[in-house]
Structure 1
Amino acid sequence: MRRRLRFARPRPEVSRHDDPLAGVANLFDASLAFIVAMALALFSVLGSTDMLSADADWTLARTTPEGELEVVSKHQQEIKVERVSDRKLSGQGQRLGTAYRLPDGQVVYVPEEEGRKP
């Protein structure tokens, strides 16, 4: 003879493990951790950690989405952004050297020696 428990409640047939969206709740946390890991990996691969240090000096040339060339340079705590344009300028100046474009597209700058002109 079986005894029935006095306070036992009938359990529903459907369990909580049958919910197909139960695992979706953790996807946001997992994607956030993945994004942080990718950002750290990108910084370490590109050597960009030097950009974050206070005593590092660096210069970066990049192309803006509009197609202009920008030169970003950092010296101690000062950051300068200069835009390179194709406007013709005139004035007085000193010739510093010559730039050559190689067949593979690379540009080489050759400074002039003192007292010698091309």
Structure 2
Amino acid sequence: MRPRLRFSRSRLDTSRHDDPLSGVANLFDASLAFIVAMALALFSVMGSTDMLSADANWTLTRMTTDGELEVVSKTQQQIKVERVSDRKLSGQGERLGTAYRLPDGQVVYVPEQENGKP
């Protein structure tokens, strides 16, 4: 009588299971899903989904590569970019009017009339 094999042939045939990169695809898929989930969580926590709506008002300040401060503000459909610098300017020019700062912090510009008085 012939002795029975203890293991089946499919367990001994490991040539199909020797692909070293078979798990890399799964790691890539998992990391991509994790990145998307983190981005969605960040947007929802910071409330930045409101930045894209038409009636949103926001102000962003950042330093440019040349060291100037840049203020980007969005008021409904209008986006305004202003650069703030600490340089002193001099030269010749024409006085155009007077600016006043209101108690709430808003600045109002009053142009001068032709005779030189507001």
Aligning the two structures, in what range does the TM-score lie when normalised by the shorter sequence? 0.5 to 0.7
Percent identical: 74
Deviations 1:27-61 (A, max 9, x none): 22222212211111111222212111111111111
Residue 76 of structure 1 aligns with an amino acid whose one-letter code is Q
For residue 39 of structure 1, what is the aligned residue in structure 2?
39
Aligned to 1:93: 98
1:55-100 deviation digits (Å, cap 9, x = unpaired): 1111111223433211111111221111111122476533527xxx
The offset of 1:24, in angstroms, is 0.5
TM-score, reference length from structure 2? 0.60
Task: Write out aligned runs for 1:60-79 (5 A).
Answer: 60-79=60-79
User: Counterparts of 2:70 and 2:100 in 1: how far apart (Å)?
Assistant: 22
Tell me, what secondary structure is at the counterpart of 2:66? coil
Give the aligned partner of residue 84 of structure 1: 84
Distance 1:65 1:32, change over 3 A: farther
Partner of 2:30 in structure 1? 30
Q: Report how many aligned residue pairs link the two structures.
A: 93
Query: 2: CA distance between counterparts of 1:41 and 1:64?
Result: 28
Partner of 1:59: 59
Q: Flag structure 2 segments of 5+ consecutive residues without an equivalent.
A: 3-8, 106-118
Pick closer, same or farther for the CA change 1:57–1:41 going to 2, 3 Å: same
- Name the counterpart of 1:20: 20
Classify the secondary structure of the residue corresponding to 1:22: coil
Structure-1-length-normalised TM-score: 0.60
